[in-house]
Structure 1
């Protein structure tokens, strides 16, 4: 029985880490990825290590992080809140992995990627819903 369980785990691991995972095509409005490694702040689905594994293609460790002055808004977005703190995680990605995240988040069409300062004083990219609470499509 143990041998069968190991086989099942191995097949699942291979399927998650090696099998092609569909990502939507890049949008014309998607900004270029950073030139080097970048930090990303996740507050919703990107807090899940399995989602990061499937989207990015490798196990991506994360650390707890906070974004002061922001809170969870309606559904998948964040909204400014003067005395609020948004809890999430921060993790590092390569430029190629940022492209995969941009495709997953539909950057330029559904979300925009903004560089924001976290509670620790370091900057990280944050995905924000386009069209929510006065946000327009990316033009800057």
Structure 2
């Protein structure tokens, strides 16, 4: 009885893992399922660009899955904004703490896809507290 239960539990776990992996691939890596409303602006001549992240992209393991490589980060602050749910909104005395990733054009393209550039987010250039410029993803109005 226990062996039978473990057999079915194993099958169920394998099917669930396969479906999760397939869903992730379809959403974030496949040529299907993502059709941006606006073309991404990525200058291939610039070898590295900074991206300020303040939400899920602060997780090392998630960035590694999305970009296929680990990326070093540094702590950073974006002044003049406040974080609200999955977005940042202008607020004169606000600040958002996050991290800066330095990425190549291929990694920036992968981040654009993860953030659904043109569908859920737009990518804008902002000046960080330390004076450096970086891209940041901001939610599009629904």
Report the TM-score range of the alignment, normalised by the length of the smaller protein: 0.7 to 0.9
- Equivalence for 1:105: 115
1:34 aligns with 2:26: no
3-state SS of 1:29 partner: coil
In 1: Cα distance, 2:112 partner to 2:97 partner? 21
Q: Residues 55 and 26 (structure 1 numbering): CA distance in 2 closer, same or farther, change over 3 Å? A: farther
CA-based RMSD of the aligned residues comes to 1.8
Corresponding residue pairs, total: 113
Give the alignment's TM-score, normalised by structure 1.
0.75
For residues 2-42 of structure 1, the C-alpha deviation after alignment (integer angstroms, 9 at most, x for no partner) is: xxxxxxxxxxxxxxxxx996215351413221331100000
For residues 75-108 of structure 1, the C-alpha deviation after alignment (integer angstroms, 9 at most, x for no partner) is: 1011111111110000101001111001100001
- Equivalence for 1:7: none
Deviation at 1:63, TM superposition (A): 0.5
For residues 40-74 of structure 1, the C-alpha deviation after alignment (integer angstroms, 9 at most, x for no partner) is: 0000011111111111110111010000001102x
- Equivalence for 2:71: 60
Higher helix share: 2
What runs of 5+ residues in structure 2 fail to find an aligned partner?
1-20
Q: Is the 8 A contact 1:30 1:102 kept in 2?
A: no
In 1: Cα distance, 2:43 partner to 2:35 partner? 16
Structure showing greater Rg: 2
Q: Is the 8 A contact 1:26 1:103 kept in 2?
A: no
